Amino acid sequence: MMAAGLGTTIQRTRMGTNMIRRSGSILLAASLIAACSGLAQAPAKSGGVIAITGGKLLTVSHGVIENGVLLIKDGKISAVGESGKVDVPKDATIVDARGMTVYPGLIEPDTTLGLTEVGSDENSNDLAERSDEIMPHMHVADAFHAETELIPVARLNGITNAMVAPGEDDSVAGQDIFIQLAGRSRDAMILGRDIGLSVNYGADQRRRGGRGKSEYPSTRMGLITQLRQSLLDAQHYEAARDAAVKKPEKTGDKGSDKGEKPVAERDLKLEALLPYLHGQKPVVIGVSEGYDIETIMKVAQEFHLKVILNHVTHSQEVLDEIAAWKVPVIVGSIYDFPKANERFDAVYTLPAELAKRGVKIAISSAEAGGPGGAHGVRNLPYAAGFAVAYGLPYEDGLKAITLNVAEMYGFGDKLGSLDVGKMANVVLANGDPLDVRTDVKQVYIEGVAQPMVSRQTVLRDEYSKP
């Protein structure tokens, strides 16, 4: 479980300094090192099979199996079925899951996990580059802190995967990653880099406006014009680049060496937009108000972007339009505040209203105000449960934090349900995963039983001693 070099990890995080200040306990520090690493327990010996037997399987893709068996081999799910109908190998490691619920690892669709440690400590935050509104060349992969203490905390509640995006200060904030909440290093944890482009539109990006400020862009008109110009610039950049490659310059032009093609100067910013202009990857658009949604969707359609809508907390008047666009939607925060003229449940009912119209939805753990954010990812299942309380069918609620999210980001064949061949990200809990009272007992990631330990459990155990 421990590896050389973890001491360095501890110093990089907040913990080292705090430990010295607070307890000075070498024993505690040692156990914290074990707890906080992203390292998992050694996998079952190669070829070994884990058999989770007798549990209630929530497959997500094909219903509920009340008394089921799930086999894990080589990090993948190798069988799923009713007890008695699945051959359990004689040498399998049996995990008795009677009385337990077994379900796929939960997937957070939008978080800053790995980009922040202590909210108020700027040095521990790498959320958004605010020097310009258009920052497509920012790569979350470059800032992702794999050893963050926040990951084991989220993992303990059954969150096994997440999409990590920059903060929302910029119109184009940067490119997202899709992570596994376990692994020996950053590279092992990042399942996909630059999987989507985070775009934001609304009042919050108008930072150059306001009292005593008058820089461009300071209005929604400015933000949209700036964005549209950037997309046009990227198209022009590509066309010019391609033309330069196809048509070698004539000898003597621009003083280049005889007979050689000029090397076009790369523009990383514009280049970063190209895969999205080609519709190869999704653009995740954070936008809340109905009229803002209509505005930004006009731009998206003009440039044929592949869209995932995010937030949409005040979209009640455009629900039918959203359905007609056939774009997936991340609802978050379901706890966003209704306006002064709205009923208390105007936002709580949003997932149900979208699902009713056939929209593919994901739900994020975001809260309304408060620290929330990456520290609150462990509350993801409760946000889905809240949507169920306000009318979303239970199956859709579970899908909104598993299979739907996997599919949105291109991992639908690998994650999000209990199906043969998928990565064995599996959770065992003592009840309904969406209920706040439920306790997660074991989390498997790629078939490896994760230590059910975080910095917080270590503190709990230390101070529980008589």
Q: Which residues bind another protein (CB under 8 A)?
A: 14, 18, 22, 117-121, 149-150, 153, 335, 337-341, 343-345, 367-372, 375-376, 378-379, 382, 385-386, 388-390, 432, 434-439, 456-457, 459-460, 463-464
Residue type at 299 in one-letter notation: V
User: Which CB atom, from 104 or from 373, has the smaller least distance to another protein?
Assistant: 373
User: Which CB atom, from 248 or from 393, has the smaller least distance to another protein?
Assistant: 393
User: Which CB atom, from 16 or from 192, has the smaller least distance to another protein?
Assistant: 16
> Shortest approach of another protein to residue 63 CB, angstroms?
20
Report the SS3 class of residue 369: coil
> Shortest approach of another protein to residue 324 CB, angstroms?
29
Taking the alpha carbons at both ends of the chain, their separation in whole angstroms is 27
User: Which CB atom, from 217 or from 376, has the smaller least distance to another protein?
Assistant: 376
User: Which CB atom, from 120 or from 214, has the smaller least distance to another protein?
Assistant: 120
> Shortest approach of another protein to residue 286 CB, angstroms?
18
User: Which CB atom, from 111 or from 379, has the smaller least distance to another protein?
Assistant: 379
DSSP structure string for 104-137: EPEEEEEE-TTS-SSTT-GGG-----TT-SB-TT
Strand partners, 164: 111, 177
Phi-psi region of 372 (alpha: psi -120 to 50; beta: other; left: phi over 0): left
Instruction: Select from 303, 310, 330 the least CA-distant residue to 405.
Output: 330
Residue 50 phi/psi, 5-degree rounding, is -100, 130
> Shortest approach of another protein to residue 73 CB, angstroms?
32
> Shortest approach of another protein to residue 150 CB, angstroms?
7
CA 56 to chain CA mean position, Å: 27
Strand intervals (E) in 315-463? 329-331, 361-363, 426-429, 440-445, 448-449
> Shortest approach of another protein to residue 290 CB, angstroms?
18
Where does residue 424 rank: exposed (0-12), middle (13-18), buried (19+ CB within 10 A)? Answer: buried
Q: Tokens 């707890």 sit at which residue?
A: 35
> Shortest approach of another protein to residue 114 CB, angstroms?
13
> Shortest approach of another protein to residue 90 CB, angstroms?
37
User: Which CB atom, from 22 or from 85, has the smaller least distance to another protein?
Assistant: 22
User: Which CB atom, from 16 or from 81, has the smaller least distance to another protein?
Assistant: 16
CA geometry: angle at 165 spanning 164 and 168, to 5°?
Answer: 150
Report the SS3 class of residue 284: strand
